[in-house]
Amino acid sequence: MIPRLYETYISDFNTEGLGSLKDLLTISITKNRNQIPTLAMTYPINASLSKDITEGMVIVADMGLEDDERNQQFRIVDVSKSMTSISITANHVWSDLSNIPLKKDISEAHAGPNRAFDLISDALAWPVSGLGFASDIPTVANLGWNFKELGNANAAIFGADQAGDQTTNTMEALYNGEFRFNNYYLTMLKHAGQDNGVVIKYGRNMQSITRDETTSGTYNAIMPYVTNTYEVPKTKVTANKVWTGGRDSVRPSLFFKLYRTLEGGTAEAVTDADQKEVPKTDGAVEWSDLPATDQNGVTYTYSVKEVDKDGNPVTTVDGYTSEQTAELTVTNK
């Protein structure tokens, strides 16, 4: 059959669409196991339909000799033009489902493949006319598809991951089947091919064989590296209180508030350090597990200021005058 060009997906193959691509230079259709078929074609730049060919259009072509392989539709996804020809890449129309997300989660126990596909079809964000599915596989499986984790409907169908190794498993992995594509009708079978009884022998019915070798994904060296992370050392700070005169029983309740300063900087309150109530006799308070430096290794200098219970600075209270005699020593007279 000569491939034909259509503006969009069709269900009536009795029409010629925009016309036949009889002037095509080359055409090839690639079918790999459980992968959506692809079409590649070159077409003369000055042929009758060269100006009509655009992305999104459909090429109808046979991709095999079986009835369900004839009149298969391929949606054009790439058009590249040179001085003499047009290179066209098209995907089988089943790939349209790769552009349709699901609108809800799918969860069901002991579901067979036909039931699984019905649930996927019902969860499509928008319907696809003529969509169909059949399977001869009796296996049942527990379904648990989160629509937010799946990029599209085909992500729930294809993918040969091993059942149980991922949170989301595909129909292909759960039921271990082989797919046949017939436009918007998908079949999942125990064995999609047929045994015709022919034994392949080199020199008789096999004239040549090609083996491709690639080093893609092969490691031939390693590059070790080390990441050094600076760990901030910890320190302990002790602040001293000195009282001069008066009796401890009538001395006011005061607190030390902790500050820190980097070299050349200004003092800033240590927000995650609690205020400490100072003793009413000569004594000290202590903070532990404080960073000794910043992330760049610059040393902190710690100091205290005397404050009331609300954190307000204190200079004179109840006849006592607060005097900062050192960074970590306050004397009240």
**Whether residue 260 sits in one domain with residue 317:** yes
Residue 54 in any domain: the answer is yes
Q: What is the pLDDT of residue 68?
A: 93
Picking from 95, 111, 134, the residue at the C-terminal end of a domain is: 95
**CA 307/CA 91 separation, integer angstroms:** 76
Residue 216 in any domain: the answer is no
Q: What is the pLDDT of residue 241?
A: 86
Which residue reads 């790439």 in tokens?
A: 78
**Whether residue 142 sits in one domain with residue 159:** yes
From the first residue on, what is the mean pLDDT of each consecutive set of 10 residues in the chain (333 residues)? 91 86 96 96 96 96 94 96 96 97 96 98 95 97 93 93 60 95 97 76 75 63 74 93 80 90 90 89 90 92 91 81 82 77
Residue 212 in any domain: the answer is no
CA distances from 220 to 83, 119, 212, 223, 224 (A): 42, 46, 19, 10, 13
**Whether residue 66 sits in one domain with residue 24:** yes
Contact 327, 301 (CB under 8 A): yes
Q: What is the pLDDT of residue 53?
A: 96
Picking from 95, 128, 158, the residue at the C-terminal end of a domain is: 95
Q: What's the domain range around 36?
A: 4-95
Q: What is the pLDDT of residue 13?
A: 75
Q: What is the pLDDT of residue 215?
A: 59
Q: What is the pLDDT of residue 219?
A: 61
**Whether residue 70 sits in one domain with residue 47:** yes
Picking from 95, 115, 142, the residue at the C-terminal end of a domain is: 95
**Whether residue 136 sits in one domain with residue 85:** no
Name, in order, each residue with C-beta under 8 angstroms of 133's C-beta and a sequence gap of 6 or more.
113, 114, 117, 118, 121, 185, 186, 187, 188
Question: Structure tokens of 267?
Answer: 């003092």
**Whether residue 158 sits in one domain with residue 143:** yes
CATH assignment at residue 295: 2.60.40
Query: Does the predicted TM-score (pTM) go above 0.85?
Result: no
**Whether residue 292 sits in one domain with residue 327:** yes
DSSP, collapsed to helix, strand or coil, labels residue 174 as: helix
